[in-house]
């Protein structure tokens, strides 16, 4: 930006199911507050589309939150017009619990998932995995070494549009809780760029978090507090770089 006193208007969408949205919202607000020029409006979903269209950038941390088709179309047009959107963890998820105990990820929002670049399908049981650097020369990940969150959800997704992968995991194994449970050896993108017109989406699938009350009404009390990649300093570095990338497109 040519003027370091320019006000930066941000919309943060933080809402959804099965995650500690309060924790993620607070951590993201603290990161945004590191820039004194940033002013933030916070919503639980994307339906406040007029606020998004008036903003300089969008940050979202959601799970199973899908906007109406009209809002989906306006979101894509907003990005294509030159804006940037940093989407985190479960934003590409649609989840339904079936009578047989499995979790399905139905293809109910193809336009939205095409904008995001991938659609969530499943994840293996929460546990450690090694995050590899796919594009070590890219400024968003340059200088970072591979790291290993201890209790994150390894998102297994299907591609919906061309993307530029920055972080990945090579995975083969089982996701027993989901309808698509068996996975052959595949490279799963964990952070990537999805270009749309003059703008882009930066998607980071890391960042699972869950507290004791976040599986309600399935469970009244979840026994373990999970912080996933939020316990890794590398994740905060990725978030700071992502916010810097989003702000760098502001005229």
The SS3 call for residue 247 is helix
Q: Using 50, 70 and 90 to split pLDDT, how confident is the model at 3?
A: low
Domain ranges of the chain: 8-247
Q: Is the pTM of this model over 0.75?
A: yes
pLDDT band at residue 1 under the 50/70/90 scheme: very low
Q: What is the mean pLDDT of the chain?
A: 97
pLDDT (mean) for 134-153:
98
Residue-wise over 35-63: b if at least 16 C-beta within 10 A, else e? eeebeeebbebbebbebbeebbbbbbbbb
Q: What is the pLDDT of residues 83-118, one digit of tens each?
A: 999 999 999 999 999 999 999 999 999 999 999 999
Q: What percent of the chain clears pLDDT 70, i.e. is strictly above it?
A: 99
Decide if pLDDT at 4 tops 90.
no
User: What is the predicted pLDDT for the residue at 249?
Assistant: 95
For residue 38, pLDDT beyond 90: yes
How many Å apart are CA 75 and CA 55, to the nearest integer?
12
CATH of 8-247, one of 3.30.750.24, 3.40.50.880, 3.20.20.140, 3.30.1330.60: 3.40.50.880
Contact between residue 46 and residue 52 where contact means Cβ atoms under 8 Å apart: yes
- pLDDT tens digit sequence for 231-251: 999 999 999 999 999 999 998
The set of residues, in sequence order, having a beta carbon less than 8 Å from that of 244 and lying 6+ positions away, is: none
pLDDT digits over 124-143, tens only? 999 999 999 999 999 999 99
Q: Given a cut of 60, is residue 2 above it in pLDDT?
A: no
Residue 153 has pLDDT above 90, yes or no: yes
pLDDT at position 156 is 98
Q: pLDDT above 90 covers what percent of the chain?
A: 98
């Amino acid at each position: 930006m040519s003027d370091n006193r320019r006000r930066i208007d941000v919309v943060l969408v933080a809402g959804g199911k099965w995650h500690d949205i309060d924790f993620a919202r607070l951590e993201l607000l603290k990161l945004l507050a590191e820039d004194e020029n940033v002013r933030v409006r916070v919503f639980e979903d994307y339906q406040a589309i007029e606020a998004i269209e008036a903003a300089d950038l969008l940050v979202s941390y959601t799970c199973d939150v899908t906007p109406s088709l009209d809002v989906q179309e306006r979101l894509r047009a907003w990005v294509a017009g030159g804006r940037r959107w940093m989407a985190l963890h479960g934003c590409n998820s649609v989840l339904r619990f079936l009578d047989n105990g499995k979790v399905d990820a139905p293809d109910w929002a193809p336009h939205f998932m095409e904008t995001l670049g991938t659609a969530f399908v499943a994840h293996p049981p929460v546990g450690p995995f090694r995050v590899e650097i796919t594009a070590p020369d890219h400024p968003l990940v340059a200088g970072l070494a591979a790291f290993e969150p201890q209790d994150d959800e390894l998102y297994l997704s299907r591609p919906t549009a061309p993307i530029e992968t920055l972080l990945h995991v090579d995975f083969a194994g089982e996701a027993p809780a989901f309808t698509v449970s068996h996975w052959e050896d595949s490279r799963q993108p964990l952070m990537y760029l999805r270009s749309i017109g003059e703008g882009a989406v930066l998607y980071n699938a890391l960042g699972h978090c869950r507290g004791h009350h976040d599986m309600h009404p399935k469970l009244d009390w979840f026994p373990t507090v999970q912080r996933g990649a939020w316990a890794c300093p590398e994740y905060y570095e990725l978030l700071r770089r992502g916010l810097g990338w989003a702000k760098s497109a502001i005229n």
